[in-house]
């Protein structure tokens, strides 16, 4: 994807824009043309203005007689005042159009960047769970943050500005050619030769630095994530200085890469400005020597004003190209993860009647000849078992024997390479996304890694469920029930109630308290199926046994739990032991 041309990247990105954005883009392009045309008129009127100012009587004598009878042109002085006022109005209107065009361009850039980056995020989230096992999380974060920001500031804005400048240069160049095509073509040829020569060298540098910047940004994000996630080790092992030096080195490399691109993009303007000054000096001297300076003075002044506008624009066109070129890798990353986006993912059920799915009630889960492997590592070979509604099942086995993988297949996060997973007589598979979503919504799940958000204890238990807002009083009663079942009462009381705030990642809470919040969340979500993967590793034996017994007493709740110790195994209906790519089902 990263070797694809910029034009192809633009085409792919344009394809994923909404109809509304495409219409807005057309409107902005029309505004840009109108802006360039208004700028053209505001500068073109300078020639008659200077001619009139240098010889007002001569200009006034050319006005038709019927216009001289009006109050605005009754005398040379009133004509001059009217003329100046007219020019001022034209300039003000031109400025207003330019401001409107500028605001619309910036606004649309933000909307396009937000839309495409948000769609990229949605497309990433919609991918299968196996995708996230292969992809580096720091890379995904870098794409959606660093590449997303660069996508706006260094690609979309420069692209729209580039189009605007091209329109402007086309109209302004037309005026210059109209005044004196020999001088205009000479100037344009000089400019093209200079910028073309620099671009030959710069193109390779831009490509190299574009890749370098993306890699460095991803490395910065990765190192910061690791460092802040393991701050205890950094403190205890006295690694502050080492990490500081590493960060400073990488950060300098990134900033140095940016500065190289900026220097190459800005340098041609310096030479061009001085060359133009020397050229105008020689031209003025030449016209003075042949006694034609006065005759060409209005045209010369207009050309100078035009040059002051055009030369910076040529430089900006070049800078836009430089900026877009150095952002190509970020653009390619966004497009790579955006590609394949669908506004509405097809979740139609091909096997079941959709009106029956919302009322689905779990009865039986069957694993039939299930085979699974990660890349070249075989995990399970033709395993078979079944779990009925209300059964309590413990899953045991040595580390690395597939306990967590088994849970992920039950959850529908991983699909077997062979065999079938059957729920209530219907197969759980990748294509039937609606049925899988309904199945996952029936499950309360506690993973090894506890995820807490910044908010209240209640919001971390309900996980911002919409149904929780319908009947707050009734909901609070149920929340207090799951808090008791997960033995979370003391934690809630100590922190000031269920509406007390939890900081990001649960800082200030113990590992056991975080686990109990996660258990309460799972019990709140579902009263049909509860799946827990080593949920009590941070709890003492007494607390662990109390919570497990509370859950085991819940009638009709199907409970699957990965355990490392075997103290409570006799309290479960079944024990599934994972070992040697197979399972052993023990019934109590």
Buried b (16+ CB within 10 A) or exposed e, 311-336: bebbbbbbbbbbbbbbbbbbbbbbbb
The answer to whether the beta carbons of residues 384 and 378 sit under 8 Å apart is no
Going by DSSP bridges, is the β-strand pair 558-562/392-396 parallel, antiparallel, or unpaired? parallel
Which two tokens mark 33?
Answer: 């043309």
529 and 554 Cβ atoms separated by less than 8 Å: no
Domain locations along the chain: 6-338, 354-587
pLDDT of residue 2: 54
Residue whose tokens read 């080593």 = 534
Evaluate whether the domain defined by 6-338 bears CATH number 1.10.3720.10.
no
Here the tokens at position 199 are 């671009």
User: Maximum Cα–Cα distance for the chain, whole Å?
Assistant: 115
The strand pair at 455-456 and 501-502 is best described as antiparallel
Walk along the chain (588 residues) and give the pLDDT tens digit of each residue. Answer: 556 788 888 898 999 999 999 999 999 999 988 888 887 777 777 667 766 776 776 666 666 665 656 655 667 677 777 777 888 888 888 888 888 988 898 899 989 989 999 999 989 888 888 888 888 888 888 888 888 888 888 888 888 888 888 887 777 777 667 666 666 676 677 667 767 776 776 777 777 888 888 888 888 888 887 777 677 667 766 778 888 888 888 888 888 887 877 777 776 766 766 777 777 778 778 778 887 777 767 666 766 666 666 777 777 887 788 888 888 888 888 888 888 776 654 444 444 444 444 557 899 999 999 999 988 889 999 999 999 999 999 999 988 889 999 999 999 989 999 999 999 988 987 677 888 888 988 999 998 888 888 888 888 898 755 444 445 665 778 888 999 999 999 888 888 888 888 887 777 788 888 889 999 999 998 889 999 988 777 778 888 888 888 999 998 999 999 987 767 788 899 999 999 899 999 987
Query: Which CATH entry fits the domain spanning 354-587: 2.60.40.10, 3.40.50.300, 3.40.50.720, 3.20.20.70?
Result: 3.40.50.300
What are 91's two structure tokens? 């300039």
Provide the pLDDT for residue 345: 46
Which of 369, 457, 363 is CA-nearest to residue 416?
369
Going by C-alpha positions, the residue among 394, 443, 445 that lies closest to residue 560 is 394
For 153-162, b/e burial (b = at least 16 CB within 10 A) is ebbbbbbbbb
Quote the pLDDT of residue 423: 93
Record the pTM: 0.75
Q: What is the DSSP string of 224-267?
A: HHHHHHTHHHHHHTT-HHHHHHHHHHHHHHHHHHHHHHHHHHHH
């Amino acid at each position: 994807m990263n070797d694809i041309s910029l034009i192809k990247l633009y085409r792919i990105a344009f394809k994923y824009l909404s109809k509304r954005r495409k219409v807005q883009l057309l409107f902005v392009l029309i505004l840009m043309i109108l802006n360039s045309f208004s700028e053209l008129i505001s500068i073109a009127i300078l020639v008659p203005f200077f001619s009139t100012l240098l010889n007002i009587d001569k200009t006034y004598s050319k006005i038709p007689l019927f216009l001289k009878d009006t109050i605005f042109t009754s005398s040379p002085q009133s004509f001059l005042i009217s003329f100046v006022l007219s020019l001022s109005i034209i300039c003000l209107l031109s400025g207003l159009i330019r401001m409107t065009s500028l605001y619309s361009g910036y606004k649309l850039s933000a909307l396009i960047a937000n839309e495409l980056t948000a769609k990229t995020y949605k497309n990433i989230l919609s991918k299968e769970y196996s995708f996230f096992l292969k992809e580096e999380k720091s890379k995904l974060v870098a794409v959606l943050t660093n590449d997303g920001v660069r996508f706006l500031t260094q690609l979309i804005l420069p692209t729209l500005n580039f189009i605007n400048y091209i329109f402007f240069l086309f109209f302004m160049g037309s005026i210059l050619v109209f005044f004196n095509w020999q001088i205009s073509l000479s100037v344009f040829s000089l400019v093209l030769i200079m910028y073309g020569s620099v671009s030959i060298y710069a193109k390779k540098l831009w490509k190299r630095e574009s890749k370098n910047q993306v890699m460095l940004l991803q490395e910065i994000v990765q190192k910061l994530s690791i460092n802040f996630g393991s701050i205890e080790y950094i403190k205890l092992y006295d690694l502050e200085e080492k990490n500081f030096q590493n960060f400073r080195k990488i950060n300098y490399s990134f900033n140095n890469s940016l500065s190289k691109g900026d220097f190459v993009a800005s340098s041609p303007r310096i030479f061009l400005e001085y060359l133009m000054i020397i050229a105008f000096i020689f031209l003025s001297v030449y016209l003075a020597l042949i006694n034609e300076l006065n005759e060409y003075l209005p045209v010369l002044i207009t050309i100078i004003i035009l040059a002051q506008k055009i030369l910076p624009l040529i430089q900006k066109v070049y800078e836009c190209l430089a900026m877009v070129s150095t952002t190509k890798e970020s653009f390619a990353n966004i497009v790579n993860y955006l590609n394949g986006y669908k506004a509405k993912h097809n979740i139609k059920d091909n096997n079941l009647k959709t009106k029956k799915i919302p009322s689905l009630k779990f009865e039986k889960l069957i694993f039939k000849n299930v085979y699974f492997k990660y890349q070249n590592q075989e995990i399970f070979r033709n395993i078979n078992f079944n779990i009925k509604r209300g059964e309590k099942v413990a899953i045991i086995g040595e580390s690395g024997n597939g306990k967590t993988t088994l849970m992920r297949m039950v959850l529908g996060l991983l699909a077997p390479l062979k065999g079938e997973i059957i729920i209530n007589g219907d197969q759980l598979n990748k294509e039937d996304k609606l049925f899988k979503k309904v199945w996952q919504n029936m499950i309360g799940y506690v993973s090894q890694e506890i995820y807490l958000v910044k908010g209240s204890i209640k919001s971390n238990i309900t996980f911002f469920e919409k149904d929780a807002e319908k009947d707050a009083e009734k909901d609070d009663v149920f929340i207090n029930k799951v808090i008791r079942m997960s033995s979370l009462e003391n934690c809630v009381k100590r922190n000031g109630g269920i509406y007390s705030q939890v900081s990001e990642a649960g800082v200030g809470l113990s590992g056991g308290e975080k686990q109990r919040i996660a258990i309460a969340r799972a019990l709140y979500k579902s009263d049909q199926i509860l799946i827990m993967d080593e949920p009590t590793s941070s709890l003492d034996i007494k607390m662990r046994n109390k919570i497990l017994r509370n859950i085991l007493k819940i009638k009709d709740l199907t409970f699957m739990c990965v355990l490392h110790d075997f103290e409570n195994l006799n309290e479960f209906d079944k024990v599934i032991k994972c070992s040697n790519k197979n399972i052993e089902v023990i019934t109590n």
